[in-house]
Structure 1
Amino acid sequence: MTYQGVLTKMESEFASPIQYYLVFENDFLNMNQLLGKNITIQFVKYQCLNCGLDKPIYRQGFDKQCFYDTPQAGDWIMRPELSTAHLGKEDRDLEYEKKAQLQPHIVYLANSSNVKVGVTRKSQVPTRWIDQGAHEAIEIVEVPNRYLAGITEVALKAHISDKTNWRKMLKNDIEDENLVEWRERLLSYIPEEAKDYFIENNSETHLEFPVLNYPIKPRSLNLKKEKQYTGKLLGVKGQYLIFEDNTVFNIRANEGLVVTISII
């Protein structure tokens, strides 16, 4: 069986274990059902997620021009504290920014390679934690807009990491942490504007990933350079496919690539 389409972030379903789906325009693959099977991934061409043209992908699935033009790639995406829709100020497209920024956001703690702080739209819980490969997470603050979540994250990351070590996460080299205790410890660092939105008395969410074996020394597949790869799929964690030979493939980092996937 061979499938072809443009790569976009895998869809996921919160279950035990998490169910992963690679969705193409006219078809989809349940990646859990491919565990233990040999698959071939072949690079075909580029397809910018904004304009659809076959132009080299620059970042986040967009070619260079689209990356700097489209509102879906504004600086406030990666740096929520730069959000300005609550002030009525446009970055690239005020209507889009209002829809994205002026909705409930969550500041959370997640443990993937270490305990880290992060921000996501409330509608993206627990999807955001799944995408990061976190095996446990907890909500700290629920605020009405992205800006408040951003300034809260900035204040907290002076005291806790906001990064994930992808190699450590993929090796499952992790320790369980008491995230309730972490949340209480960080309470005093929450900015005054967000203190009223602190969430009390909630518990951790635990996540189980579909992995048969974790890699010992993960090697990242550069499909643009290697053009084709064949391996036995042993797991999916975060947005990574994990193969028997320690190769890992980050779907999210390869958005905008048109590929064929053959199941051998």
Structure 2
Amino acid sequence: MYEGVLTKMQTEFTSPINYFLVFEKDFIHMNQLLDKNIKISFVKYECLNCHLDKEIYRQGFCKTCFYEVPQAADWILKPELSKAHLDEEDRDLAFEKKMQLQPHIVYLALSSDVKVGVTRKSQVPTRWIDQGANQAIEVVEVPNRYLAGITEVALKEHMTDKTNWRKMLTNEVLDANLIAEKDRLDDFLPEEVKEYYLENNQKLYDLNYPVLEYPQKVKSLNLKKTPEYEGILKGIKGQYLIFEDQTVFNVRSYEGFVVRIEIN
């Protein structure tokens, strides 16, 4: 039996990908739990910032912390709003400079359809694993988050920037050539980003997940409505646990929830 506050699963880029659920004093190698019966019980909340037992609002934070901490500022989800390169503070300039003023990758990923996205270079390939992408390719490498953001805004006029999580989990993935998709985007890049286009890059990242059986349909486990759930683990993809009865559990959506996990 294990107990701790949920944070997103840590991963190793192997084939298949290794997943670890990390608690303060322990961890679980989730791949070893495939085909085993797991019981998940909600215990209480623990905000990832103030660590108080306050209802989680978003991204693992209570409502107060969500509107105060730099880790939940708007530029996290909308990189085009980044201002550290202008020496302008949003919530914490030192934190924002550290996170924004480093190399960023604009990429294409194939998890359901072809989607465009942004990540820090240091998060390659972790970002793609978290999204459940089967393949990915880098399109541009820029020196800050703002340039990555305006590139994403320009490119999503020509393709989606969202993952269809249901298709990702049922493995309904479009048959697409990411190299060809990347090559056609050169004309759509903002002028200030064109010099960073990775013209000769044809490196495809292939990602293989520990899934024994994909569901036909998916139903999401909501820990607030169902504080206890028990099922046989059949796979892990993205940040989802996939169970035999078609239930899926998005670990990342429940960051800040303290759970008890029993393995039979």
Q: TM-score range by the shorter chain?
A: over 0.9
In the TM superposition, residue 204 of structure 1 has moved relative to its aligned partner by 1.0
Within the alignment, does 1:256 sit opposite 2:256 as a pair? yes
Percent sequence identity over aligned pairs: 70
CA-to-partner distance for each residue in 1:61-98, whole Å, 9 max, x for gaps? 00001000000000000000000000000000000000
C-alpha displacement at 1:200, in angstroms?
2.3
1:87-133: per-residue Cα shift (whole Å, max 9, x none)?
00000000000000000000000000110000000000000000000
Alignment of 1:14-163 (within 5 A): 14-163=13-162
The alpha carbon displacement at 1:214 in A equals 0.4
**Number of aligned residues:** 263
Q: What SS class does the counterpart of residue 39 from structure 2 fall into?
A: strand
Match of 2:209 in 1: 209
CA-to-partner distance for each residue in 1:23-59, whole Å, 9 max, x for gaps? 0000000110000000000000000001000000000
1:6 corresponds to: 5
Give the drift of 1:235: 0.3
> Could you tell me how far apart the structure 2 residues matched to 1:187 and 1:180 are?
12
Segments of 5+ residues of structure 1 without an aligned counterpart are: none
CA distance, structure 2, for counterparts of residue 19 and residue 197 of structure 1: 32
Q: Aligned partners of 1:258 and 1:59: how far apart in 2?
A: 15
Deviation at 1:177, TM superposition (A): 1.4
Q: 1:242 maps to what in 2? A: 242
> Which aligned pairs between 1:220-239 and structure 2 lie closer than 5 A?
220-239=220-239
Partner SS for 1:130: helix
Per-residue CA distance 1:212-234 (angstroms, 9 max, x = gap): 00011100000121110000000
> What one-letter code is carried by the residue in structure 2 that aligns with 1:223?
L
TM-score by length of 1: 0.99
Structure 2: stretches of 5+ with no match in the other structure:
none
Question: How far is 1:19 from its partner?
Answer: 0.3
- How many Å separate the matches in 2 of 1:118 and 1:158? 13
TM superposition outliers: structure 1 runs of 4+ over 6 Å: none
